[in-house]
């Protein structure tokens, strides 16, 4: 688990960060839990999901909403569409 994974990172390296983390988790057969409030971080994940769907097939984003009893779950395609349409995914 990594809390606020983007802290101290420049937006230009976030896509590479996601690529390395997702590939490493897949290679190690491990789950990765990451938190962020950064729209740049979410958009970088969306770009990677669009450009490398093979790599991101197991990626899910959960948005915590205090008005709901469950998280709102986005898969790679929904993450990409939301980023393109400027839909707010962060809780």
pLDDT at 47: 94
Q: What does the domain layout of the chain look like in residue ranges?
A: 11-84
Give the chain's mean pLDDT.
91
Calculate the alpha carbon distances from 63 to 3, 18, 75, 89 in Å: 15, 18, 11, 7
Calculate the alpha carbon distances from 28 to 22, 24, 68 in Å: 10, 6, 33
pTM, whole model, 2 decimals?
0.86
pLDDT (mean) for 8-37:
95
pLDDT at 91: 59
Sign of the CA dihedral with 46 first, then 44, 88, and 66 last: positive
Helix (H, G, I), strand (E, B) or coil at 11: helix
Q: What's the pLDDT tens digit per position in 23-54? A: 999 999 999 999 988 889 999 999 999 999 99
């Amino acid at each position: 688990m990594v809390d606020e994974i983007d802290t101290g990172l420049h937006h230009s390296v976030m896509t590479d960060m996601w690529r390395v983390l997702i590939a490493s988790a897949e290679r190690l057969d491990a789950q990765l839990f990451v938190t962020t409030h950064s729209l740049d971080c979410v958009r970088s994940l969306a770009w990677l999901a669009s450009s490398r769907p093979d790599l991101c097939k197991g990626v899910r984003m959960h948005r915590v909403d205090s008005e709901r009893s469950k998280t709102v779950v986005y898969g790679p395609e929904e993450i990409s569409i939301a980023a393109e349409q400027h839909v707010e995914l962060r809780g």
